[in-house]
Amino acid sequence: MIVVLQKGAKEEDLTNVLKHLKMHGFATHIVRGTEKTIVGAVGDKSRLVNIPLEAMSGVESVIPILAPYKLASREFKPEDTVINVGGIAIGGKDVVIMAGPCSVESKEQIMETAILVKEAGANILRGGAFKPRSSPYSFQGLKEKGLEYLALAREKTGLPIITEVMESENVGIVADYADILQIGARNMQNFTLLRKAAATGKPILLKRGPSATIEEWILAAEYILVEGNQQVIMCERGIRTFETYTRNTLDLSSIPVIKHLTHLPIIVDPSHGTGKWRCVTPMSKAAVACGADGVIIEVHPRPSEALSDGSQSLTPEKFNKLVNELEAVAQATGKALSTPVTDNSKVGV
Amino acid sequence: MIVVLQKGAKEEDLTNVLKHLKMHGFATHIVRGTEKTIVGAVGDKSRLVNIPLEAMSGVESVIPILAPYKLASREFKPEDTVINVGGIAIGGKDVVIMAGPCSVESKEQIMETAILVKEAGANILRGGAFKPRSSPYSFQGLKEKGLEYLALAREKTGLPIITEVMESENVGIVADYADILQIGARNMQNFTLLRKAAATGKPILLKRGPSATIEEWILAAEYILVEGNQQVIMCERGIRTFETYTRNTLDLSSIPVIKHLTHLPIIVDPSHGTGKWRCVTPMSKAAVACGADGVIIEVHPRPSEALSDGSQSLTPEKFNKLVNELEAVAQATGKALSTPVTDNSKVGV
Amino acid sequence: MIVVLQKGAKEEDLTNVLKHLKMHGFATHIVRGTEKTIVGAVGDKSRLVNIPLEAMSGVESVIPILAPYKLASREFKPEDTVINVGGIAIGGKDVVIMAGPCSVESKEQIMETAILVKEAGANILRGGAFKPRSSPYSFQGLKEKGLEYLALAREKTGLPIITEVMESENVGIVADYADILQIGARNMQNFTLLRKAAATGKPILLKRGPSATIEEWILAAEYILVEGNQQVIMCERGIRTFETYTRNTLDLSSIPVIKHLTHLPIIVDPSHGTGKWRCVTPMSKAAVACGADGVIIEVHPRPSEALSDGSQSLTPEKFNKLVNELEAVAQATGKALSTPVTDNSKVGV
Amino acid sequence: MIVVLQKGAKEEDLTNVLKHLKMHGFATHIVRGTEKTIVGAVGDKSRLVNIPLEAMSGVESVIPILAPYKLASREFKPEDTVINVGGIAIGGKDVVIMAGPCSVESKEQIMETAILVKEAGANILRGGAFKPRSSPYSFQGLKEKGLEYLALAREKTGLPIITEVMESENVGIVADYADILQIGARNMQNFTLLRKAAATGKPILLKRGPSATIEEWILAAEYILVEGNQQVIMCERGIRTFETYTRNTLDLSSIPVIKHLTHLPIIVDPSHGTGKWRCVTPMSKAAVACGADGVIIEVHPRPSEALSDGSQSLTPEKFNKLVNELEAVAQATGKALSTPVTDNSKVGV
């Protein structure tokens, strides 16, 4: 940590800063510049301490040197984390495709979609049972009934399932059904939920918050890792910017950055990330080209009848084409698409 | 709702759109322009329906005409909502000052601060017991013990208390102590929490999410209103932008906008909104000058020893000065500061 | 400047960094932390040098300590800069009101408006002759004819005039007419234009770019100051964020920040900053309450007939009311409105 | 255009709106909803007119239906625009690579770089002679001398050259040397510059402004097209967001959007778009995977000695590797890299 003193700070301000730093176990180094004096503070616990030095007299600013996370960092664990879900490796050499409807709307709809996406080459089935919706007047999901239908679809197709858990009191029931727990973008900093989800031991897909910096997103992962659950999958789903043509701005540069800073796998959600079905296929290919470990795609048998997010859902035909094009891009980057699950035996739970 | 068809959309696309709209109970009006055809859809339930028309063939875009909220709107309820908390009217003609530390750190600290802010002129005591922190390594609050200390401070000073509830399973216990439940910025779209907090019947201070549009923020209020709880206080606390000198960008223009679109009171949090104690006083005055019903200010007896947010906390001396300056601005806008609670009798619960 | 080495950087990387720093005249101080080594570099010219150390082997990041500007800084010149324009002091103890139409549309329109705003209490007349418009199909201004009409309005009313100069080749002609040269938001980093405008010796109003940080904005002012022109007026006019209800997000916290970091006066443009006439009066009052030295307001005799920006223009009646309300706020902050020019004698040029 | 009236607007407000619309040549259609009345306005010139209806009594908002640009639109010209520069087709089936240093620093440096990038497979040489720099204390470019060195490098290698023109008065001299004129991000809305550059008839690479929406960017292209110059190359270079790890947020979704809305070629600048050399190769691959017609890459023989942007420049070795990897991705999307110019004969001018 570097403490920068104001020009004209008094000697007693410096003494006071030094005293505080030593009190917290830091060794200190003073560098007197031509205009300003700075103090370098070195200590084992430097990552864990948050002293409000900026509130002290004569202090201009405090600059952290070490990243505020530890377990998530590439420095802590150099090798890639690979997460195994029902025989599918996420974060390994192959590209994983998760697909399915935004919401589970009926038994028929999820069964039909599951079969279609499996045939097209999907490895994991997605579908929302509990739906966070901006408006209280929008469809809120089938809740537990939706989870049951997802489980039936898994039984039928052998695809592991991923579904969102929206609040800590539902963690138990969602974990009873799901193979991967999804933490939604709005809940990225719902720390109680992160801890409870972590405690299930299930793999957790952690969506980036729409206004979260990469560092905050990694810190949210750290909340899970600290609980002893190492199975965190990062998911880039777009950030909020001034651009309005797309629903969000998909920040694909977060992929190489996450790969550089952490050991965690990262997948991309181009459906929410753009909000336009027309952008889903090109952005999926871009995601894989720059190193994503997979994509998660909204597919609906009849998007114009979807109860949510129809305008960003692919038809099965378009999804089929996407998978084929993705395969070519994966190969061009020295990877392959993950081999589809081939038997219908129940996975997971 | 306006449905815009693509240039060159087929007659059957139009027919299909009309069929869907009628199926949902809309009357339709076709306007054929020189380049594009549009369909105006009129219906009672237009606010409540979300048909994915954009996923239909030939449709370019769908433009809503009515606001997606109802109960919060000024059109629905023209007169201002005034909320009474222990004799303090929020949203009335006077300006309310809420003040206190970011976190309750000890019984002594909260008692000392409560007395200081009351003497300076605060009407309501703030203090966090459950703290949402970006890092798992930061101080997480005293939890229920913190609530107890807040209640003791209320008993001593007569100031009603406001404190944050971070998750739905704690709504009960927080509501047992607090006079106003605070929903934090990160939880603005935690809809389960909104519903449970609403069900307590307590006044709710709803912070704007750091990346929430004004419309989404009003929709979050609508979640509370729909549950039958009319006591919602909006709280502007800054949005996230590219500017890094301040912690957030305090969007004061949201004040006249909220006043225009809704009947709800709105207060401003310049402490989190700027993250710099130096900006707190000027931005408080600006907030009152443009019509805010109050401010919520972080005050700490010794900011440089605060366990959280010390660099944005005011010392009691600076807070005292702020109150005096605020009074002048309130009067210049035809208002006054709310009269401080004068006796020490217990309020609220 | 602090150079942070990567964990595991080699001794030769460190040696190389030290060599480069010394080559550029820096004294260096090495601080070896438990995880990382950092180098503090101290030197007279540290502000002026930009060595791409981040491209060197073993270097993780480079953190500047000194602000990248000098002449604009409060440290360089502690006392406030006050700029005198035709007897009006900008940056002094009084609040200045600049007002007028977005565009000069005709001789009649600018004369009528000039008289109206003067009577209401404006000190300076604004009006665009050269208009930057997003669309090539929009009204582009009357150009030199517009300048002539402005000069006539000045002759008639005695109000000094401010108008935008959009490109370096027009600096001469605009300076022949204007008392203050306005640099538009889109041109904040048009450095040639800044230099040429500076060379005229006229006061320059420098609008903040819609995506400019405060630091970049100050650096743009530094371009003018470096040319020897000390008469720079900063103008906050809103930044671009995800919020769409307002045209921009007016960042009023920039006022205390600019006042803290620099000695320059700052005024606020709530018309462009919000894009809604309904927000102009409240945001003007907020601007003055938090320390702005003035406001610049769009006024049009008949906004619904304006050739540009009608929806953010005030009618003369509303402007009149604004001035009255502003006076009360100015007094509440220990200031007053600048006394209107009282005779019709020609000012300026 | 749709005009939405306020709830409770008077009949005379409606009459007034209709009168204005008819006056401007629009046919009008009234749709009376249960809560609000709207007016659909149809007319040939609807794109070209900008009536401030929002300033009229009773009007809530005005919603445009047609895009504000015409010549750039895919509807106006369905087939892709392909631009030929010295035998290199931009916007055709092949992917073009532009590469070179941020700044031309010396004859030796640009010659060395030109030869290196040509050997690696670049098709066009980039290099800045006039440099826009945030700080007046940074290196500002070699100016005309830099143009001369670029021309020498073209003579030696046969690579066409692209370089930035920063102000209208230099358009002539830059056009004398350059094969493609680059309009920098800060100048995207410098409309005089756009017009003068257009008038040269040279191909123009138009960078997206850091806070420009896609629509504004297309409107800037429209300024060039309106002048009769059809050779516009769009260049995505990142937008400004709250993320600070990368210098900008590269918005790759703009590629499919620009391809959908316009007929213009689009290339990507991952060097400025991310500001980190580590991100350049992955983001280049992503750009090509989602349909970019090319990339523009900063390459410097010794990045740590670069006078500008060293930390985002690739070494020749890394650039070589990038080209190889890009080739694989291009092929995976059914394209190829553009064949390098093979002889040294002078191109262009």
Q: What is the DSSP string of A71-138?
A: TTBTTT--SPP-EEETTEEESSSEEEEEEE-SB---HHHHHHHHHHHHHHT-SEEE-BSS---SSTTS
* Minimum Cα–Cα distance from C243: chain A residue: A242
Confidence of residue C347 (pLDDT cuts 50, 70, 90): very low
State yes or no: pLDDT of A50 exceeds 70.
no
Across A290-304, average pLDDT = 95
- Mean per-residue pLDDT over chain C, rounded: 91
Identify the pLDDT of residue A346: 43
Between A20 and D300, the higher pLDDT residue? D300
Q: Is B257 an 8 Å CB contact of chain D?
A: no
Identify the pLDDT of residue A113: 97
- Mean per-residue pLDDT over chain B, rounded: 91
Across A299-308, average pLDDT = 86
Across B69-96, average pLDDT = 95
Window 197-216 of A: residues touching D by CB (8 A cutoff) are 211, 213-215
Bridge-based pairing state of the strands C124-126 and C37-42: unpaired
Chains that touch C (3 or more CB pairs under 8 A): A, B, D
Across A120-142, average pLDDT = 89
Under DSSP, the state recorded for D249 is: B
Confidence of residue A320 (pLDDT cuts 50, 70, 90): very high
Identify the pLDDT of residue D347: 43
All residues of chain D having their beta carbon less than 8 Å from the beta carbon of residue B34 are 42-44, 46
pLDDT digits (tens, 9 = 90+) for B233-273: 999 999 999 999 999 999 999 999 999 999 999 999 999 99
Chains that touch A (3 or more CB pairs under 8 A): B, C, D
Q: Is B251 an 8 Å CB contact of chain C?
A: yes
Question: How many Cβ atoms sit within 10 Å of the Cβ of residue C339?
Answer: 11
The minimal CB distance from D33 to the residues B33, B65, B244 is found for: B65
Q: Which of A46, A135, A312 to mutate to test the interface with B (most CBs of B within 10 A)?
A: A135
Confidence of residue B46 (pLDDT cuts 50, 70, 90): low
pLDDT digits (tens, 9 = 90+) for D138-147: 888 899 999 9
State yes or no: pLDDT of A349 exceeds 50.
no
- The answer to whether B166 contacts A192, with C-beta atoms less than 8 Å apart, is yes
Q: Which two tokens stand for residue C284?
A: 């003007």
Whole-model pTM: value is 0.93
Identify the pLDDT of residue D344: 47
State yes or no: pLDDT of A140 exceeds 90.
no
pLDDT digits (tens, 9 = 90+) for A92-116: 999 999 999 999 999 999 999 999 9
* Minimum Cα–Cα distance from C247: chain A residue: A242
Q: Of A98, A155, A156, whose CA–CA distance to A127 is shortest?
A: A98
D296, D283 contact by CB (below 8 A): no
Q: Is C65 an 8 Å CB contact of chain A?
A: yes
pLDDT digits (tens, 9 = 90+) for D105-162: 999 999 999 999 999 999 999 999 998 887 888 888 899 999 999 999 999 999 999 9
Q: Is D167 an 8 Å CB contact of chain C?
A: yes
Name the residue ranges covered by the structural domains of chain B. 2-63, 83-346
In C14-130, at which residue ranges do the beta strands (DSSP E only) sit?
A: 27-32, 37-42, 59-63, 83-85, 88-90, 94-100, 124-126
Q: Collapsing DSSP states into helix, strand and coil, what is residue D30? A: strand
State yes or no: pLDDT of A272 exceeds 50.
yes
The minimal CB distance from D329 to the residues A241, A278, A332 is found for: A332
- The answer to whether A66 contacts C36, with C-beta atoms less than 8 Å apart, is yes
Identify the pLDDT of residue D103: 93
State yes or no: pLDDT of D312 exceeds 80.
yes
Confidence of residue C163 (pLDDT cuts 50, 70, 90): very high
How would you write D107-150 as a 3-class SS string?
Answer: HHHHHHHHHHHHHHCCCEEECECCCCCCCCCCCCCCCHHHHHHH
The whole-angstrom distance between D67's CA and the closest CA on chain A is 12
How far from the centroid of its chain's Cα atoms is residue D338's Cα? 20
- Bridge-partner residues for B337, per DSSP? B95
Confidence of residue C346 (pLDDT cuts 50, 70, 90): very low
The whole-angstrom distance between B319's CA and the closest CA on chain D is 31
Whole-angstrom CA distances from A244 to C331, D213, D244, D254 are: 42, 7, 21, 11
In CATH, the architecture of A83-346 is: Alpha-Beta Barrel (3.20)
State yes or no: pLDDT of B157 exceeds 60.
yes
Confidence of residue B344 (pLDDT cuts 50, 70, 90): very low
Identify the pLDDT of residue A341: 56
| Ramachandran angles phi, psi of A266, nearest 5° | -140, 130
Q: Collapsing DSSP states into helix, strand and coil, what is residue D233? A: strand
- Bridge-partner residues for A42, per DSSP? A27
Q: Which of A31, A44, A74, A260 to mutate to test the interface with C (most CBs of C within 10 A)?
A: A31
Between A139 and A259, the higher pLDDT residue? A259
Confidence of residue B325 (pLDDT cuts 50, 70, 90): very high
CA gap A82, A265 in Å, rounded: 7
Confidence of residue C202 (pLDDT cuts 50, 70, 90): very high
Identify the pLDDT of residue C128: 94
B170-179, C9-18, C253-262: least confident range: C9-18
Query: Percent of chain C, pLDDT > 70?
Result: 95
Q: Of C75, C113, C112, whose CA–CA distance to C299 is shortest?
A: C113
CA gap A166, A171 in Å, rounded: 8
Identify the pLDDT of residue B239: 97
State yes or no: pLDDT of A340 exceeds 70.
no
Please give the ipTM for the structure prediction: 0.93
A235, A268 contact by CB (below 8 A): yes
User: Could you tell me which CATH class the domain C2-63 is placed in?
Assistant: alpha beta
- Which residue, chain included where needed, has tokens 């006394």? C339
Which runs of consecutive H residues, i.e. helices, occur in chain A?
11-23, 107-120, 144-157, 171-177, 191-199, 214-226, 254-261, 270-274, 277-289, 316-332
Identify the pLDDT of residue B303: 87
Single-letter residue type at B26? F
Window 267-306 of B: residues touching C by CB (8 A cutoff) are 273-274, 276, 278-279, 282-283, 285-291
> Rg of chain C over CA atoms, in angstroms?
23
State yes or no: pLDDT of D287 exceeds 50.
yes
Q: Of B175, B188, B251, whose CA–CA distance to B223 is shortest?
A: B188
All residues of chain D having their beta carbon less than 8 Å from the beta carbon of residue B240 are 242
Q: Is D33 an 8 Å CB contact of chain B?
A: yes
The whole-angstrom distance between A243's CA and the closest CA on chain D is 5
State yes or no: pLDDT of A78 exceeds 80.
yes
Residues near C39 by beta carbon (within 8 Å), at least 6 away in sequence: C2, C3, C5, C14, C17, C18, C21, C28, C29, C30, C31
- The answer to whether A274 contacts D255, with C-beta atoms less than 8 Å apart, is no
Query: Percent of chain B, pLDDT > 90?
Result: 74
Across C177-205, average pLDDT = 96
The whole-angstrom distance between D324's CA and the closest CA on chain A is 11
- Mean per-residue pLDDT over chain A, rounded: 91
Across A293-303, average pLDDT = 95
B25-34, B166-175, B278-287: least confident range: B25-34
pLDDT digits (tens, 9 = 90+) for D13-23: 999 999 988 88
Identify the pLDDT of residue D345: 45
Helix axes C277-289, B254-261, angle to 10 degrees: 140
Bridge-based pairing state of the strands D94-100 and D124-126: parallel
State yes or no: pLDDT of B347 exceeds 80.
no
State yes or no: pLDDT of B345 exceeds 60.
no
